[in-house]
Amino acid sequence: MTVDDQHRDFWERRLADDWTESGVGYKALGRPFNRWMYRVRRNVFTRETSALGLDASSRVLDIGSGTGFYVDGWQRLGMSDVVGSDLTEAAVEQLRARYPDARFVRLDITEDIGPLEPASFDVASCMDVLFHIVDDERYKAAIDNIGRVVRPGGRFVLSENFLHRRADYTEHQVSRTIEWVTSVLRVAGFEIERRVPMLILMNAQVDAPAPWRKAWGGALRAATLTPPTGWLAGAALYPIERQLVRRFRESPTTEMMICRRLPHVR
């Protein structure tokens, strides 16, 4: 089995076993805490995408749809032409049943664009997905393929960790430097418009100093050992987190970036 097959199999098994917020989120913190965390993500996503000037006729592509959280987010904004995609059959089958008004395709964006037509989408989103592409060359291919399907002048909405320290490689996740990610985006023809915190405290502090990363990570895991304490921890942090993501310009964890596709000759 190749590394790519192992990666695909990992996500097939994970989503087949847990097709919820914890399955696509920070699994170690449990489902109740993840639900509060995703409420913050929804707030930031809605605030930023509602300012893009899209309307019901805009064509939307969501890459790595998972449980359909961001498909739902686009539909709540009034988008009627939404296409979702996922690497796994486990997700695609359930997404088709949950969101009958959207279209879903099984697609590995690191390989090609599959049945998608070039320059056919007004906006593409790839949320909480890119840092799970552990091979740098496949990451570059994914961004290049996204550039192929977004029309000139269209937008690309993504979330990443954007480290200011050295890149951190693990088996199923890679946090890359902001310089490296932005250079890949520019090569693919994207102009960066803005970057905002998606979370501050309710996630692993990947871009913080090591002592704080370990201390806060331990505190989160201790607070979420059981579903009731996880729910209470999430409920306590939620109103604080909503204020922090508005006040801070950068985050020690996941951030959201909006890019515009520039016209250029490949």
CATH of the domain at 36: 3.40.50.150
Which band of pLDDT confidence, cut at 50, 70 and 90, is reported for residue 1?
very low
In a domain, 266, yes or no: no
Report yes or no on 113 lying in a domain: yes
Write down the pLDDT at residue 20. 61
Is 101 a domain residue?
Answer: yes
**For residue 59, what pLDDT is reported?**
97
What are the backbone dihedrals phi and psi of residue 27, each rounded to the nearest 5 degrees, phi first?
-55, -35
Total domains in the chain come to 1
Confirm whether 153 is domain-assigned.
yes
* Confidence at residue 172, expressed as pLDDT on a 0 to 100 scale: 83
Question: By mean pLDDT, which of 87-91, 97-101, 119-123 is the weakest?
Answer: 87-91
| Residues 149-201 pLDDT 10s | 999 999 999 999 999 999 999 888 999 999 999 999 999 999 999 999 999 99
Q: How confident is the model at residue 265 (pLDDT cuts 50, 70, 90)?
A: very low
pLDDT at 84: 97
Domain assignment of residue 244, given as a range: 3-261
Residue 186 lies in a domain: yes
| Alpha carbon separation from 258 to 159, 197, 261 (Å, rounded) | 9, 12, 10
Q: Residue 126 pLDDT > 50, yes or no?
A: yes
User: By mean pLDDT, which of 11-15, 62-66, 253-257 is the weakest?
Assistant: 11-15
Q: Tell me the C-alpha distance between 158 and 138, whole Å.
A: 16
Give the model's confidence band at 90: pLDDT under 50 very low, under 70 low, under 90 confident, else very high: confident
How confident is the model at residue 101, as a pLDDT?
A: 94
- Percent pLDDT > 90 in the chain is 84
Quote the mean pLDDT of the chain.
91
pLDDT at 195: 98
Whether 97 is in a domain gets the answer yes
Does 171 or 39 have the greater pLDDT score? 39
Return the exposure string of 228-257: e unless at least 16 CB atoms fall within 10 Å of the residue's CB, then b.
Answer: eebbbbbeebbeebeebbeeeeebbbbbbb
**Is the confidence at residue 5, as pLDDT, over 60?**
no
Q: What is the mean pLDDT of residues 21-47?
A: 86
- Give how far Cα 26 sits from Cα of 178, 198, 204, Å: 22, 14, 8
Residue 149 lies in a domain: yes
In a domain, 247, yes or no: yes
List, edge to edge, every strand of the sheet that includes 150-160: 103-106, 81-86, 59-63, 121-126, 150-160, 255-261, 190-197
